Amino acid sequence: MIDSNSILLFVADAPKSASFYARLLGLDAVEASPTFAMFILSSGLALGLWGEKGVEPAPAPTGGGCDLGFKVATADLVDTLHTEWQGKGATILLPPTDLDFGRSFVAADPDGHRLRVYNVAEG
C-alpha cells in the first residue's frame, strides 16, 4: 500500500533550489544534502528537489511542461501571494488573472518549473 505522496522536481542545483523554495514557501527543508532537499507542504504532500545529475534513469528536460498547483482559500490571497512571491524573486509568467475556473497567477522557479497559485470560483 502507498504510504505517502510526493512530487520530485529535477533541478540543476539542489541547494540553490532549496533556498528559493524555503524563501517562497516560508518553510525549512526537512531533509537537505548537496543533491537533494525535501519540503513537507501544509497539505502533507512532500516536495522533493533532486539534483538532475544524480537521477537514474537520467531525466529528459521537462521544466515548464506542467504546473505545480497551490490552491488558496480566497481570490484576494492569490493577489497577496503574487506580490509576495514577486518580491522573493519568483519569475512571474502570468500575473493575477481571472480564468474560467477562478483567479490564478503563474510563477517559475529557477529551473523553469511552473508554480500556479489559484482559487476556485464559487458557483
pLDDT tens, 8-35?
999 999 999 999 999 999 999 999 999 9
Decide if pLDDT at 63 tops 70: no
- The proportion of the chain whose per-residue pLDDT surpasses 90, expressed as a percent, equals 85
Q: How far is residue 110's CA from residue 14's CA, in Å, rounded to a whole number?
A: 11
Is the same domain home to 109 and 80? Answer: yes
Average pLDDT over residues 90-112: 96
Task: Examine residue 92 and state whether it is found in any structural domain, yes or no.
Answer: yes
pLDDT score recorded for residue 62: 63
Domain that holds residue 10: 6-54
In the block, which residue shows the cell 477562478? 102
Q: For all residues of the chain together, what is the average pLDDT?
A: 93
Decide if pLDDT at 40 tops 90: yes
Which CATH number goes with the domain that contains 11? 3.30.720.120
In the block, which residue shows the cell 512571491? 85
CA distances to 65, 67, 123 from 114, rounded to whole Å, are 8, 5, 27
Is the same domain home to 115 and 88? Answer: yes
Decide if pLDDT at 64 tops 80: no
Decide if pLDDT at 61 tops 80: no
3-state secondary structure the chain: CCCCCEEEEEECCHHHHHHHHHHHHCCCCCEEECCEEEEECCCCCEEEEEEHHHCCCCCCCCCCCCEEEEECCCHHHHHHHHHHHHHCCCEEEEEEEEECCEEEEEEECCCCCEEEEEEECCC
Task: Examine residue 85 and state whether it is found in any structural domain, yes or no.
Answer: yes
Is the same domain home to 49 and 79? Answer: no
* Total domains in the fold of the chain: 2
